[in-house]
Amino acid sequence: MEQRKREARRMTRLWVCFAVATLLWSVASAQIRYSISEEVKEGTVVGNVAKDLGLDKSTLKDRKYRIVSGAAEPLFHVNQNDGILYVSRKLDREEVCERSSTCLLNLKTVLENPLEVHYVGVEVLDINDHSPSFPEAEKTLEISESVLSGTRFQLQAARDPDSGHFSVQQYKLSPNEHFRLEVKDKGEDGKIPILIVQKSLDREAARSHSLVLTALDGGKPPKSGEINILVNVLDVNDNIPVFSKDIYTVMLDENAPIGTTVVQVYATDLDDGPNGEVVYSFSNSVNRRIFKLFEINPSTGEITVKGPIDYENKDKYEIEIQASDKGLAPLTTEKSVVIKIADVNDNAPEIEVTSFSSSIPEDSRPGTTVALISVNDLDSGLNGKVICSIGEDVPFTLSPSLQEKMYSLVTKSPLDKEKQSHYALTITAKDSGTPSLSSEKTINVVVSDVNDNRPEFLLSPYTFYVTEGNEPGVSVFSVKAFDRDENNNALISYHIVRDGSEDNKLTSFLNINSETGDILALKSFDFETVKTFQFQVVATDSGTPSLSNNVTVNVFILDQNDNAPVILYPVSSNGSAEGVEEIPRNVNAGHLVTKVRAYDADIGYNGWLLFSLQEVTDHSLFALDRYTGQIRTLRSFTETDEAEHKLLILVKDNGNVSLSATATVIVKLVEPREAFAASDVKSATKVDEEDNVTFYLMITLGSVSLLFIISIIVLIAMQCSKSTDYTSKYLQEANYDGTLCHSIQYRSGDKRYMLVGPRMSIGSTIVPGSHANTLVLPDRRRGSGEVRHI
């Protein structure tokens, strides 16, 4: 025994090694088939495997040709010298293939170097090597003498281990005038012999009858088995039990608990005493498996559940029940009880996912298949009818397939990774039973990114305010865009649109960092040269194909106090700011002596000029209007006043660091007649000077007006191109003779800015850091985001 165990372990290790080898090397295989009868002797030749497979006999031994088997005592072996397959031990088909119609043994033969596997099929043919046999050698029946003709007695059937035609085919009864034999075919349960009384019995004539029942199989010649039947004739129990129904039919739920009452049969016997007492039992023809599932109470006839009832194994049982009395010659009646098993919804549906794609591009069209779903329910009818569903709040749906219980998981609407990149889909399979059973399976679907989103700028348009005189090569402002895609699809690069047009010429002085969007000015801006300009920045992602978007950038140059006041009058012939004014001595107080005119190219506070007297011969004689530059007399002149007075006028702007210029006015007092004559001479000599001054004033006013018109056109265009509350308008020009003024108001965010000339609105304040050239006007309105750089 120990040696056999060691041999079994060795064969198991060989089998494991062989399984591993089949995974590591390519294997050549072939298959042949032989037939051999059972019961052949050990060493019987089955076939020449080597010859039939075309193998070289000389290499079989070196290549270790053998049969791989896990059995401790294999049925066959192959000779390594000649390649012939032999029987290793006696073959018993009934042992090897019990109750199988065809007995086919599959042998696996192996050669090494190189590894080859060949399958050999050996069919074991049945021979009639078993005789029919009865469970008992002798059977005693007790039959009342009053039994009626036609009364039936079921006998135990014979069994033959052989199959098919070699099993029990017929029964024969020894000749007897009182009995005859009838055979009932029960299908898979075989043929059942029934003893029928054909002539009344007479106990006084014969107390017993000896019968021989012979069972024959289909062999040629047939084999047989016998049972001796002894019939004892009993006296007068002439009433047989009678069942209350001709046939009993009942429904039983599967999985009924053990002990559940299935049905109660009832029979009555009109005899008295023991002859009328009825006992119940299963018929002798009942299959042995019935005894494991049901049992009957001998006294009450109640049939109860003894073992597990499963509809999926068998849906109906037909049981023969017999009722016998307790007479000396018991009378027996048989009835069939048909038990139909009602399917109970005890099997939940099973979900299997095949051909699953865990990742799906977000641009997949509706109807794209993600997975194939198969469902199965072992129950039948409505209990086995399965409905598969998925949540309604996901962009997926289940589409039934042409094949029953198959579904396709498909997309039902467009996907967007930027909204949701992962879905945990719960598939529910629910049967139609009562109560219904269901099962769930969750699969995870990842939405992969495609380049379907253009870059988006944080603002559109961008508005920047840059102070003139900025440092070249330094970042002055930046734009920023984002892309809702991922990885390379979200990697953004920037560039400025340069089309070479006149309106876009300033872009040649700008450079942008392609990675960060920082914009650098390659030169300093001059407010007096350009006050505003715009250009386009394009943001492009790195997807394939790439997507881009552009934004308009509006740039406003803010003025710095970088221009000193220019004296327009008085101006001498050599270009210096000096002039001589002659006035009559008899003028009254308030007489206009002259007007000092000046101009500043800056705007706002930087261009707002104030006049003051720095030096004067007599402070009581002359006064200077600080806003207009008008010089007037304070009082009438006296005889004691000097005839010539020098006035030094300081003209300065209102920048944080103010710039200034000076003008000298010499006032000469003359007698009225001299003054009149001098005025005629001076009027002739000053014609040219006044013409020149007028020419310069016209040029200056024309330039300012042109800038004014351009600014209005630009601001109106910006107002029309966006929905933000952005306004731009010029204020009414102040009526001052001494200074050329610039005034403009504009909006940024929640503030309204105004660049002013000589006058300020009452209540206005200076914005910190604005170099005193910008006012803030109170306004409750709100605007779009503008960025102001000073």
**What are the counts of helices (DSSP H) followed by strands (DSSP E) for the chain?**
6, 55
Question: Which of 624, 551, 634 minimizes the C-alpha distance to 591?
Answer: 634
Give me the pLDDT at residue 785, please.
38
For residues 700 and 613, the answer to whether their CB atoms sit within 8 Å is: no
Helix (H) or strand (E) holding 23: helix 2-24
Instruction: Give the residue among 748, 713, 745, 710 at the shortest CA–CA distance from 530.
Output: 710
φ, ψ (nearest 5 deg) of residue 672: -60, -40
> What is the C-alpha to C-alpha distance for residues 607 and 770, in angstroms, rounded to an integer?
14
Q: Which residues pair with 209 in a beta bridge?
A: 231
Q: What mean pLDDT do residues 742-759 have? A: 45
| Structure confidence at residue 250 (pLDDT) | 93
**Closest by Cα among 265, 245, 240 to 325:** 240
Whether the predicted pLDDT of 675 surpasses 70: no
Which is it for strands 751-755 and 775-777: parallel, antiparallel or unpaired?
antiparallel
Do residues 69 and 63 make contact, with C-beta atoms less than 8 angstroms apart?
no
Read off the pLDDT of each residue in 503-510 and give the average, rounded to a whole number.
Answer: 80
pLDDT tens-digit series, residues 618-632? 888 899 999 999 999
**pLDDT tens per residue, range 349-403:** 888 887 677 788 878 888 888 888 888 887 777 788 888 888 888 888 888 877 7
Q: What is the pLDDT of residue 740?
A: 42
Mean pLDDT, rounded, for 271-289: 86
- Identify the pLDDT of residue 507: 83
Is the confidence at residue 2, as pLDDT, over 70?
no
Give the DSSP letter string of 541-564. E-SSS--EEEEEEEEEEEP-S---
- On the question of a cis peptide bond just before residue 114, with omega within 30 degrees of 0, the verdict is yes
Instruction: Check if the beta carbon of residue 663 is closer than 8 Å to that of residue 631.
Output: no
CB atoms within 10 A of CB 292: 11
What is the pLDDT, as a whole number, of residue 658?
Answer: 86
- pLDDT bracket for residue 760 (50, 70, 90): very low
pLDDT > 80? residue 187 = no
Q: How confident is residue 288, by pLDDT bands cut at 50, 70 and 90?
A: confident
> Residue 208: which of 229, 231, 228, 227 has the closest Cα?
231
Answer whether residue 188 shows pLDDT above 70: no
Q: Which pLDDT value is given to residue 235?
A: 67
Residue 447, strand partner residues: 360
pLDDT class of 498 with cuts at 50, 70, 90: confident
CB atoms within 10 A of CB 528: 16
CA angle, corner 446, sides to 441 and 450, nearest 5?
155
Number of neighbouring beta carbons within 10 Å of residue 757: 22
| pLDDT above 70 (res 686) | no
Cα–Cα distance measured from residue 466 to residue 520, given in angstroms and rounded to the nearest whole number: 12
> pLDDT at residue 652 above 50?
yes
| Region at 590 (left for phi over 0; alpha for psi -120 to 50; beta for the rest) | left
Pair type for strands 592-595 and 438-448: unpaired
Dist CA 457 CA 539 (whole Å): 8
- pLDDT recorded at residue 344: 81
Q: What is the pLDDT of residues 116-143, one digit of tens each?
A: 888 888 887 777 677 788 888 888 888 8
d(CA 458, CA 725): 19
Instruction: Give the integer Cα–Cα distance in Å for 487 and 587.
Output: 87
- pLDDT(289) > 80: yes
Identify the residue whose tokens are 């042949």. 32
Q: Are 216 and 169 in contact (CB under 8 A)?
A: yes
Residue 616's CB is within 10 A of a number of other CB atoms, namely 19
Average pLDDT score over residue span 147-174: 82
pLDDT score at 80 = 82
Confidence class of residue 744 from pLDDT cuts 50, 70 and 90?
very low
Q: Check whether the bond before 570 is cis (ω within 30° of 0).
A: yes
Task: Say whether pLDDT at 567 is over 50.
Answer: yes
* The two structure tokens encoding residue 340: 């139909």
Residue 199 has which token pair?
A: 């002539």
Residue 277 scores a pLDDT above 70? yes
pLDDT in tens, 693-737: 567 777 877 888 888 888 888 888 877 765 444 333 333 333 334
Q: Is 46 exposed, middle or buried (0-12, 13-18, 19+ CB in 10 A)?
A: buried
Average pLDDT across the chain, whole number: 79
The answer on pLDDT for 15 being more than 60 is no
Can you tell me which residue has the tokens 């560039």? Answer: 495
Find out whether the peptide bond into 74 is cis, omega within 30 degrees of 0. Answer: no
- Cα-to-chain-centroid distance, residue 770: 55
The token pair at 426 is 């719960």
What's the pLDDT at 537?
93
- Burial (Cβ within 10 Å: 0-12, 13-18, ≥19) of residue 98: exposed
Q: Is the pLDDT of residue 758 over 70?
A: no
Per-residue model confidence (pLDDT) at position 101 = 65
Distance CA 557, CA 524 (A): 10
**What is the average per-residue pLDDT within 756-775?**
36
Encoded tokens for 672: 């009225």
Give the residue-averaged pLDDT of 316-337.
89
SS3 52: helix
Cβ neighbours, 10 Å, residue 352: 11
What pLDDT, on a 0 to 100 scale, did the predictor assign at position 708?
A: 83
The 10s digit of each residue's pLDDT in 551-564 is 999 999 888 888 88
Confidence of residue 321 (pLDDT cuts 50, 70, 90): very high
Residue 429 vs residue 418, higher pLDDT: 429
Q: How far apart are CA 4 and CA 70, in angstroms?
A: 12
% of the chain exceeding 90 in pLDDT = 16
Q: What is the pLDDT of residues 36-86, one digit of tens each?
A: 877 788 888 888 888 888 888 888 888 888 888 767 678 888 888 888 888
Residue 208 corresponds to which tokens in the numbers above? 């017993």
- pLDDT for 278 equals 93
Residue 253 scores a pLDDT above 70? yes
Q: Which two tokens stand for residue 31?
A: 């298959």
Q: CA 711 from chain center: how many Å? A: 55
Give mean pLDDT, residues 198-227. 84
- Contact between residue 560 and residue 470 where contact means Cβ atoms under 8 Å apart: no
Sheet containing strand 45-48, strands side by side: 45-48, 84-87, 76-78
Q: How far apart are CA 583 and CA 676, in angstroms?
A: 9
Beta bridge partners of 624: 631
Say how far apart CA 717 and CA 694 lie, in whole Å.
34
Q: Which helix (H) or strand (E) holds 683?
A: helix 672-685
pLDDT above 60 for 493: yes
CB 537 within 8 Å of CB 481: no
- Residue 337, pLDDT score: 93
Calculate mean pLDDT across residues 195-210.
85
Judged against a pLDDT cut of 90, whether residue 17 lies above it is answered with no
Three-class DSSP category at 327: coil
Percent of the chain predicted with pLDDT > 70: 82
The mean pLDDT value for 336-353 works out to: 85
Label residue 690 by pLDDT band (50, 70, 90): low
Strand pairing of 422-431 and 438-448? antiparallel
Q: Residue 297: what pLDDT?
A: 94
What is the 8-class DSSP label of residue 737? S
Of 230, 276, 225, 267, residue with least CA distance to 248: 267
Total length of the chain: 790
Mean pLDDT lowest among 259-273, 450-464, 497-511, 524-538 = 497-511
Residue 351, pLDDT score: 85
pLDDT attached to residue 225: 87
Summarize pLDDT for 577-592 with one digit per residue, the tens.
Answer: 888 988 998 899 989 9
Indicate if the pLDDT at residue 526 is higher than 80.
yes
